[in-house]
Amino acid sequence: MKSVYLVCATGIATSSMMRVKILDYLESKGIEAEVFQYRVAELSPERIKADLIVATTSIPPEIESNFKVINGVPLLTGIGEEETMEAIAKALSEE
C-alpha cells in the first residue's frame, strides 16, 4: 500500500484538513493509501518511508530533492484544488 505524508508547520490543523479531503478523494478513485500527519521539523530523510509528501510549508531541500513533494496549499484555498488532487492520484498510481 502506498503511503502519503501530510506536512505542515505544526502537524495538527492544516494537515488534518488535508487528510479528510485527500482520503475522500482517493477513496472515490479507488486508490488505497495510508496517510500520516507530520510537522516539518519531524522529517528526516533517512526516516521517510513515504511514496508522496503533500506539504503546506517549505520542505528542506535535502528532502525535496529525494522525494516526490506536492504543494498542498490549493487544498486549503480551493484554488487549483482539483488539479492538486489529480496530481496526488497520479503520483500514487505510478509504480
Q: Using one digit for the tens of pLDDT, what is the confidence trace for 10-45?
A: 878 888 889 999 999 999 999 999 999 999 999 999
Instruction: Give the integer Cα–Cα distance in Å for 3 and 82.
Output: 20
What amino acid occupies position 42?
A: E
pLDDT tens for 39-94 read 999 999 999 999 999 999 999 999 999 999 999 999 999 999 999 999 999 999 98
Q: pTM of the predicted model, to two decimals?
A: 0.94
Task: Report how far residue 36's alpha carbon sits from residue 16's, in angstroms, rounded to the nearest whole number.
Answer: 10
